[in-house]
Structure 1
């Protein structure tokens, strides 16, 4: 990407991400509403009060009180979390036009940034929350961005070149629907830019959890529609945007993953699942009355999970990865990691008595063609 365009994108991101909290207060004064307290907790409380059934989930997101608190949550998040901006920048760098859809756009920060960086692109936005739409439209007009905001899911006559769905899948009654929709409305050279954070906790009871039927159907649909992920152009490191081309072209290889792990912004992994894995290992040690366990992390990447495990007394952890860059990154942090391939794992005696007590494949299986 030429330097001039990089500068234009940087300026667009600065305008889209600057002053969101101040803009929110100005907008609230205009519409005569107040938001007090934490938006995330308020949404969790509203969900627990309503306990919506599957068929009523979309109606819950359409409620104004829910949407107003979502505006507050997203405004605070986008203002404070530098990673959101970096993720948005990554998407813009992969963007294909001229027709773009932001599916579940929230308060429209990314859509506004795209419009400011690429004024000639046609940008459609779908967002069910009424307050989110109103704030998005007001702010886009204030900043001079041009976006088309839809109340209902658009059914275009022409295909989109890019469909974006960030932090959307875990909110859907059927996350696989997102993949079906993208497949139907992307052109043959189009890309789907999405992520998925299948994690349910006290602050996010509305999320779909990992290891559920719904989450599994999502991953299966992604592989079925866009091909196995080892054939897709994937830039997905636990919450980072995953870029999938409708025509597969990127084979999974060590050179490819070396390139991904060379980007230091993808090494600081705060994936909630890693917290759950750590807790599960500690519980296993307690249940089995063990003072130490040997843990093998297959596909350890840059060692984010190994870092977390190193803080648990009695855990002896080893990481396997076929990316030399990933393994060297682990070793530089003092972690034990080995360059290997999945087919070579049998030599380490995983299924033997002297093998690992715990074997972790947290995200590996999405990348391999045969599961044997």
Structure 2
């Protein structure tokens, strides 16, 4: 099994090393621009019959694929980079969506005015949640965040000012901008039926989040998060203000979740509390782990697979979830580090830390059994 794993990962490791340490900057820039244009062109490519035979391809690209990718990028900062297990991430998504729905319907404010407010309030909510709870670790932190997600959903159900169980209808779309075309389509003409303009917005926001995430990971902040994830006690002894950096990770992740909620609510006609269940948090966490926690391309691939596979197998009706679950189990057996893991993540798994702080430290990596036998 180990030899098979090495044969599969070897070529990828060589390409990755060349990419990060040898490839000139202009080549990387060309590739990044090409990938961005490719992502924008996905709705127009003739792949709909294969990728989505049961659902409209453009709608599927926006939700769940685009929304899941953006949520996974936000959760990756909390889980993948800082090593904090968050099971209530859907709460920040709901906060952003409800801010757009309420302010847009009650005050008549513009989408672009509400967007920074929703992002800011989601970040503040992350600080409010993190301030009293981030002194907890592992499964205790996971339980508290799970409870926070349920508190937000139940509060929305029981608050008549925001619609209660009926939610909020008549949510305004972003304002149209006439005369801008891409692949023969108007880019900024927003409506209920055409999902492509909203997908373009998500791609642009994903690009911004990716750039910021890469910058953070290579900065002092990213190094502090890595130290906290690997060994929080050692990081604190070495002078890292662990509480401050954990709170920062929660706030940034919450802000990205809130922005995703605002963009999603801008497309939908109405929202209800049932749109924000715990299973959505669990699904996004599964995407992060499946793709490769801490590695941005891996997280995006994992989110794409988690969003796309159930829709691709929709023709199997009740068996599609079983097939999807079998794929996840197989991945965890044969690639426990994820589809595209980072080198640091693979090293943490070999050491048995799991790359998720104290919670993951209880779970041995793929080579921990062999290492223990050799040590004997």
TM-score by length of 1: 0.23
Taking CA–CA contacts closer than 8 Å with sequence separation of 6 or more, which of the two structures ends up with the larger relative contact order?
2
More strand per residue: 1 or 2? 1
TM-score by length of 2: 0.22
More helix per residue: 1 or 2? 2
